[in-house]
Structure 1
Amino acid sequence: MQVVIFKLNNEQFAVQTDKIQSINDAMEITRVPKAPAHIKGLINLRGNIISLLDINLLLDIPKGDKSQNNIIILEMEDELVGIAVDDVYEVLDVEENLIERSSDERRKEYIEGIINFQDRIVTLIDIDKLL
């Protein structure tokens, strides 16, 4: 399985590359009045209007001091959504047997498992369960 590793606050997360359409630099976000709390706003990506999710809120991760430098555009069913992340690190090939199931109760609905490799612990997010 191929994954993209990214950072939120001081934690590392991953999503499968087959769910990712593109990785972009941060861009202007248009706020939407009375939108649900998990919607940060809308972005205009090459003429496409895309909802930007607040992944920090969905995963219960406090926002870090650092600005969010990248937006990952994900394909969910027939819709594109974006998540703003602090940094995108790398693309890795991960063997399925390296993924341990998560026991973290407050995040488990979004978490596919934990990848433990190269002295790093990376949380694998199940993007289909984000919404």
Structure 2
Amino acid sequence: MQIVVFKLGDEHFAVATEKVQGINDMMSITLVPKAPNYIKGLINLRGSIKSLVDINLLLNVDTSDNQENIIILNVGEEEIGICVDEVEEVLDIEETSIQRLETEVEYQYIKGIYKHDEKLLTIIDIDKLLNI
């Protein structure tokens, strides 16, 4: 399995590359009045409008001012963007090396934890996180 590793604050997360449509530098965000608080706004990506989700809010991670990248993800039938501090790398890992959580009921959106170079990566099931 391949994963894209990204950083939010001091924490490291990953999503399966099969969900990743693209990685872009930060761009201007258009705010949407009265949108739910987890919607950061809209971006115009090569003429296509995408919703931008505040993944920090959904994962309960403090938002930094250093968000440099937008990851475009395939979620259900849509392409949705998330702002991340930094996209670090793409890794090939064995699914059997992912440690599952004991409390899966509460955190169904977490596929598990993977240890890489002294870092613990939380692997996210983006469909479950966004309730698709």
The two structures share one fold, judged by TM-score above 0.5:
yes
- Distance in 2 (alpha carbons) for counterparts of 1:126 and 1:97: 16
Alignment RMSD, CA only? 1.6
1:34 aligns with 2:44: no
Correspondence for 1:11: 11
Helix, strand or coil at the partner of 1:91: strand
Correspondence for 1:92: 91
Residues 92 and 43 (structure 1 numbering): CA distance in 2 closer, same or farther, change over 3 Å?
same
Between 67-76 and 110-119, report the one with greater CA deviation.
Answer: 110-119
Q: Deviations over 1:64-86 (max 9, x none)?
A: 3x410000000112110000000
The answer to whether the Cα contact below 8 Å between 1:110 and 1:130 also exists between their aligned partners in 2 is yes
Letter aligned with residue 123 of structure 1: T
- Distance in 2 (alpha carbons) for counterparts of 1:88 and 1:106: 28
Deviation at 1:103, TM superposition (A): 4.1
Aligned-pair identity (%) = 58
Q: Normalized against structure 2, the TM-score is what?
A: 0.93
Correspondence for 2:50: 50
Structure 2 spans left out of the alignment, 5+ residues: none
- Distance in 2 (alpha carbons) for counterparts of 1:107 and 1:51: 26
The answer to whether the Cα contact below 8 Å between 1:60 and 1:107 also exists between their aligned partners in 2 is no
Deviation at 1:117, TM superposition (A): 2.6
- Distance in 2 (alpha carbons) for counterparts of 1:89 and 1:58: 21
The answer to whether the Cα contact below 8 Å between 1:54 and 1:83 also exists between their aligned partners in 2 is yes
Q: Deviations over 1:59-114 (max 9, x none)?
A: 011113x4100000001121100000000000000111110112467971321110
Structure 1 spans left out of the alignment, 5+ residues: none
Helix, strand or coil at the partner of 1:61: coil
